[in-house]
Amino acid sequence: MPLRETNIVSGAQTKFGKLEGVTLREMFAEAVEKATIGSGIPLEDIQAAFIGTFIPEMLVHQGHTAPLLADYAGLRGLPATRHEAACASGATAIRAAIMAIESGMYDTVLVAAAEKMTSVSTNKATEALAAAADDEFESSMGLTFPGVFAIAAVAHMQEYGTTEEDMALVAVKAHHNAAKNPLAQFQKEITLEKAMTPRYIAWPLKLFDCSPISDGAAAIVLTNNERAKQYTDTPVKIIGTGQASASMNLCDRKNLTSFEASVRASRIAYEMAGLQPKDIDVAVVHDCFTIAEIIATEDLGFFKPGEGAKAVREGVTAMDGDMPINPMGGLKAVGHPVGATGVKQAVVIYRELIGEASANQVPRHDIGLMHNFGGTGATCVVNIMRRADA
């Protein structure tokens, strides 16, 4: 069966941020309740659960999370499987759910993801996140993720003339959009001057170039064409999906200004959807750092290599621009509870396409794209979605 048979019929997320007094399972259950019962979908209709979490063993000392989280959310007894691909854990869970529906094994499934990160110190969280990199050749030598993306930023600056101000403008845009999003971790705009404040995390990346440590959860319900209209008048079809992998370490990469897995995954998704980058109305990309957004927009084909920064400067990627990127604030300002990010991205595109993004609604919203990658881009998933009536 073609992938056009897969529909998102509901989507929800918790607030992202430092959620004190809220456990991993409680966040997960909240997102599931909103996406199912809260959206008029009985729990009894869910036939399987695909769950994304990255490092609960290191952050909350909890493994074997899939049955635990499913049970707490009222789904005891269902097949529940955990998916782990670093920051792309949520998106790989979505891919597995798509394949389960397209195979005919299930009609209606849940994809949900959560991460509780603020229960440990910043140093401990940084150490845990480093597990997504190559420990033998990079992490054990002291290279952290800010350092990795700083290397990519320097390469992009040298190759294309990208500046620190260009990256700061990405942060300004992210906070401007997130200020309108009540579920965002940071709901306050920042000036370019503030974004340029020289508090370097890893030169040339400053404090406002980096996404925060966050808690949060998100969930979507997927079903086939036959059942979609039972749940909503505005289903969103997943019409293209691609996944690719690349080297875990930088020393084996030929190009530091592009992420190979992003390029490959997007081309697979475009071909499956029968579309080109110019056909996309709105996109959410993995902006764990501001340079990551600039590179992602080039890798996805929205702009030529080296022109992503120019697009930001000219307002092309603004909410009302010709190619809106991260209209609700992205990882940079909404927050980045790593395992939950991919599912949250799907929720954002779903809300945009059905016209329920409130103050963050983009003008054109027939076709959307989500781009979620793990670690330093060793895993990437791209999904393309279309409103059913478009």
- The catalytically annotated residue of 87, 210, 288, 380 is 87
Residues 6+ apart with CB under 8 A from 329: 174, 175, 177, 178, 179, 181, 184, 186, 360
Q: Is the pLDDT of residue 1 over 50?
A: no
- Catalytic, 371? Answer no
Q: 242 and 99 in contact (C-beta within 8 Å)?
A: no
Residue 115 backbone class (left: φ over 0; alpha: ψ -120 to 50; beta: rest) = beta
Provide the mean pLDDT of the chain.
96
pLDDT for the residue numbered 144: 87
Q: 171 and 195 in contact (C-beta within 8 Å)?
A: yes
Which 8-state DSSP code applies to residue 212? P
The model's confidence at residue 251, banded by pLDDT at 50, 70 and 90, is confident
Amino acid at 37: I
Which 8-state DSSP code applies to residue 82? E
Average pLDDT over residues 327-343: 98
Q: 292 and 378 in contact (C-beta within 8 Å)?
A: no
pLDDT for the residue numbered 60: 97
Of 8, 57, 55, 65, the closest CA to residue 239 belongs to 8
Count the Cβ atoms, other than its own, within 10 Å of residue 263. 20
Place of tokens 């190979």: 260
- The catalytically annotated residue of 83, 156, 286, 336 is 336
Q: What is the pLDDT of residues 158-191, one digit of tens each?
A: 999 999 999 999 999 999 999 999 999 999 999 9
Cβ burial, residue 199 (10 Å; 0-12/13-18/19+): exposed
Domains along the chain with CATH numbers = 3-121+213-236 (3.40.47.10), 133-211+237-387 (3.40.47.10)
Share of the chain above pLDDT 70, in %: 99
Tokens of 149: 């993306």
Q: What is the pLDDT of residues 45-64, one digit of tens each?
A: 999 999 999 999 999 999 99
Place of tokens 């097949």: 79
Residues 6+ apart with CB under 8 A from 27: 14, 19, 114, 116, 215, 216, 217
Q: Which helix (H) or strand (E) holds 369?
A: strand 367-374
Of 321, 330, 323, 238, the closest CA to residue 285 belongs to 330
- Catalytic, 286? Answer no
pLDDT for the residue numbered 2: 46
pLDDT for the residue numbered 41: 98
Q: What is the pLDDT of residues 186-224, one digit of tens each?
A: 999 999 999 999 999 999 999 999 999 999 999 999 999
Average pLDDT over residues 226-248: 96
